Chain A
């Protein structure tokens, strides 16, 4: 597959930061969709808190992307005025919420990755990314703990919760590979110590995930085939629906402010 050049690119760093921001925004928005709908009030708050953490990370990353791009754009432009094919998030984060088990499994896979990612990025040679990493790592560490505890309880809970957790695992497993696939343009960032090569996180992620899933009495899918495409703008139909909601206000009332 020919890798599509990142549109609006002025540098590999710009595209790289934008894609991390997209991960955080899309997953944060997904979590916000639970607001008022979670199985219990306590979890409603937990999901909204995690969503706000992610949207906060997205804002910092978009702001930095705008600075790197140097074209006078701001965070709102990236979040509200880009179409689906310009989004660079991994496919995992745009998966629909489904039931609670689906949401928690998606959160668990992402958090187990991104917590390691941010911890490694704390030693980035780029001081802004290192600072964002230091703040984000504390948030993602809690997301990982919270989602791990739920995965164990769902998998090891009732027959129904086990069935739903196993089904979520089977559905989402193929979306985990993309987290570890670097974009070809990222290589120059790896060489400069600005970004870390995600392939280096795979082994530790796999150990973490396997251990939690074992405690949860859940069986790892046998298939090794992995989905990809989000990082080059090839998204599932779900992202378009998500963005139509996320962007509706700015699209209807351009430049509206609160």
Chain B
């Protein structure tokens, strides 16, 4: 059997002090249970995680790189969407 026959999974780890699961990489595993174990063995060996998600890579719907300009360029010129136009009083302190 070759690795090509084994499904690919994307791994997301929630770290000790993180609120959200973050994508950390991918791996091959025959099924969900083994994918979780492999994720634990590969991506949490240095105490990185408190929770693991694995998702079949083919379940991810990705944007087309060719659509990059249409999707993302228009936002570049809308600087007023950044909350940087307020004067924060000193008394508020560090936000």
On A, residues with C-beta under 8 Å from B are 40-43, 45-46, 49, 142, 145-146, 149-150, 153, 158
Contact = CB atoms under 8 A, between A and B. Distances in A.
Contacts of A153: 30-31, 34
Nearest to B40: A142
B28 A40 contact: yes
A42 B38 contact: yes
Contacts, number: 32
Contact of B45 (A43, A49, A146): A49
B6 interface: yes
B37 A146 contact: yes
Contacts of B38: 42-43, 45-46
Given A40-B28, A42-B28, A42-B42, A145 B37 contact: yes
Contact of A46 (B28, B33, B41): B41
A149 B28 contact: no
Contacts of B27: 41-42
Given A40-B28, A153-B30, A46 B37 contact: yes
Contacts of B30: 153
A42 B33 contact: no
B60 interface: no
A146 B38 CA distance: 9
Contacts of A146: 37
A146 B36 CA distance: 10
Contacts of B34: 149-150, 153
Given A41-B27, A43-B38, 14 more contacts: A41-B28, A42-B27, A42-B28, A42-B29, A42-B38, A45-B45, A46-B38, A49-B41, A142-B40, A146-B37, A149-B33, A149-B34, A153-B34, A158-B1
Contacts of B33: 149
B3 interface: yes
20 contacts: A40-B6, A41-B27, A41-B28, A42-B27, A42-B28, A42-B29, A42-B38, A42-B41, A43-B38, A45-B38, A45-B42, A45-B45, A46-B37, A142-B40, A145-B37, A146-B37, A149-B33, A150-B34, A153-B30, A158-B1
Contact of B37 (A40, A41, A149, A158): A149
B1, B38, B41 — which one has the most chain A CB atoms within 10 A of its CB? B41
Minimum-distance CB pairs A-B, first 4: A42-B38, A46-B41, A45-B41, A45-B42
A45 B31 CA distance: 17
B36 to A, nearest CB: 10
Nearest to A157: B30
Contacts of B45: 45, 49
A214 to B, nearest CB: 18
Which among A40, A46, A146, A149 has the highest number of chain B CB atoms within 10 Å? A40
A186 B28 CA distance: 46
Contacts of A40: 3, 6, 28
